[in-house]
Amino acid sequence: MTPTVLVVDDDRQLLRALRINFRARGMTVVVAETATEALTLAAECDPDLIILDLGLPDLDGIHVLHGLQGWSRAPVLVLSARPDSSDKVQALDAGADDYVTKPFAMDEFFARVRAALRRAGKDDSPAEAVIETPGFTIDFRTSTVTRDGQTLHLTPTEWGVLEILARNPGKLITQQEILRAVWGEGYQKETHYLRVYIAQLRRKLEDDSATPQHLLTEPGRGYRFIP
């Protein structure tokens, strides 16, 4: 089953970035911008994981944690700009399972997401945790790529680009979606970054980088991964 994640935050740019990243990893995303909406949606969609900001416009996120107690079994990962240890202690005592301080690194954040889902007995992997092509194998469980029996060295950015494409085999992923998911907001026009990393991935993965069979370009639109 595809995990459902409820993201609660009033920062719309962050909501958009997280939505893209969760969907790229094969998860269903529901978003809320207020504490009241969060509790309503938590009851309606029964999420497998809740990402919760503490600074909400109507009520503090601690109220959401208290409101979830007793009936929601979803782990809660607090995502907050409050760095004080007292805030962390209060959130954890109120039922949070983990606490991430903004700003945060997307790879570390999703490592914590995967850990929370594992603890809850959920799997955030796609239907196939391993994708095999004639020339290389992608293992999402270990975030590795092997070719001819050897593990390839991919930079975190190269893996981020490959992961988004490979988790959506055959689907066109636009340049803007990849840039926003891997580099963040404000990089949607930096398409030259993407061309550089796609070229690097082709040199590492394709038999002939000049005539790629797996990482295909849709001119002016984006890229498509073909296993």
217 and 196 in a single domain? The answer is yes
29 and 110 in a single domain? The answer is yes
pLDDT tens digit at each of 227 positions of the chain: 688 999 999 998 889 889 888 888 888 899 999 999 999 999 888 899 999 999 999 999 999 998 988 788 899 999 988 888 888 899 998 999 999 998 888 888 888 898 888 887 765 444 457 889 999 999 876 788 999 889 999 988 898 899 889 888 888 888 888 887 787 766 667 788 899 999 999 999 999 999 999 999 999 889 999 99
175 and 96 in a single domain? The answer is no
As to burial, measured by CB atoms within 10 angstroms (0-12 exposed, 13-18 middle, 19+ buried), residue 83 is: exposed
* pLDDT of amino acid 10: 93
Q: How far apart are CA 70 and CA 59, in angstroms?
A: 19
Split into its structural domains, the chain has a count of: 2
Domain's final residue, options 119, 151, 168? 119
Domain's final residue, options 56, 89, 119? 119
112 and 169 in a single domain? The answer is no
pLDDT digits (tens, 9 = 90+) for 146-166: 998 899 999 888 988 998 898
Residue 125 lies in a domain: no
58 and 98 in a single domain? The answer is yes
62 and 86 in a single domain? The answer is yes
Q: What's the one-letter identity of residue 141?
A: R
* pLDDT of amino acid 222: 92
- Tell me the two tokens of residue 133: 């092509």
146 and 90 in a single domain? The answer is no
Q: How far apart are CA 190 and CA 179, in angstroms?
A: 7
Q: How far apart are CA 126 and CA 108, in angstroms?
A: 19
Structural domain for 205, as ranges: 130-225
pTM of the complete model beyond 0.75 = no
CATH number at residue 16: 3.40.50.2300
DSSP state, 148? T
63 and 8 in a single domain? The answer is yes
Distances 10 to 25, 56, 57, 82, 109 between C-alpha atoms, Å: 22, 6, 7, 15, 18
| Range list of β-strands (E), the chain | 4-8, 28-32, 49-52, 76-80, 98-101, 130-132, 137-139, 144-147, 150-151, 172-174, 215-218, 222-225
Decide: 27 and 163 in contact? Cβ < 8 Å: no
Domain's final residue, options 71, 86, 119? 119
CATH number at residue 189: 1.10.10.10
